[in-house]
Amino acid sequence: MRGIVSDLEVQRAYTPVSPVDAEGYFEVLIKIYEDGFMSRFVKTWKEGNTVCWRGPFGNCPYKPNQYEQLLLFASGTGIAPMVSLIQYIVANEEDETFITLVGCFRTFQDIYMKPRLQELAAYWNVKTLFVLSQEQDLTHLLWSYREKTYLGRINCDMVKNFVNSCRRKPFIMVCGSITFSKDVLNYLNQLGLPEDDYFVF
């Protein structure tokens, strides 16, 4: 997306969360930062405004039934490409890929797109889990989240548990901040997983 803020041109990349086969529209997940240049531009929007976009760019190494199991690690807005991928898979009745999504956020309130994630988790082949780094206990969470939520920062033991709990040998995808991706890759390396077994957005 391109915008003009204080006479300066600002560009930021965003990942669509709309279905892959969507026609005539697209949706993106945008996080608003208090001091962000692009956030200042987004805050000025009114219905009917025109916004400049270009793309899409990049690619995702996935074809239907290419892998028996996907294990997806996402933090923050890194959930966006995972949602798009899961929607693509569940929309194809012939795709029997099992999916485990591990979403890492600070608190329960920080989980993006909760309603859509709940809808996707209702599919027979989709499982959603959450790691909340700044929550102290699970008692105030909705019942439907308590049994699939872990407290603390994601660590090597958690990653090992998620890998071992997969029904089949997983292909792993990672998306999040530079620090998050670096940490998860480090844990995967500690577990001895070869580079061919994972992909980083």
Question: Going from the N-terminus, what domains does the chain have, and what CATH number goes with each?
Answer: 1-57 (no CATH), 69-200 (3.40.50.80)
For the chain, how many residues are written?
A: 201
Joined tokens for residue 11: 């560009």
- Output the pLDDT for position 31: 86
pLDDT tens, 30-80?
888 888 888 888 888 899 989 999 988 777 778 999 999 999 999 999 999
- Output the pLDDT for position 71: 97
- Output the pLDDT for position 176: 93
DSSP states along 5-50: ETTEEEE----B-S-TT--S---B-----TT-HHHHHHTT--TT--
Number of CB atoms found within 10 A of residue 138's CB = 16
Which residue, 163, 172, 117, is CA-closest to 142? 117
* pTM for the predicted model, two decimal places: 0.86
| Pairing between β-strand 2-5 and β-strand 8-11 as defined by DSSP bridges | antiparallel
Q: pLDDT per position in the chain (201 positions), as tens?
A: 998 888 888 888 888 888 777 888 989 988 888 888 888 888 888 999 899 999 887 777 789 999 999 999 999 999 999 999 999 999 999 999 999 999 999 999 999 999 999 999 999 999 999 999 999 888 888 888 988 999 999 999 999 999 999 989 999 999 999 999 999 999 999 999 998 899 998
- Output the pLDDT for position 37: 81
CA distance 189 to 151: 23
Phi, psi of 84 (to 5 degrees): -60, -45
Which residue, 186, 181, 76, is CA-closest to 131? 76
- Output the pLDDT for position 112: 93
- The SS3 assignment for 58 reads coil
Angle between helices 114-121 and 79-90 (to 10 degrees): 40
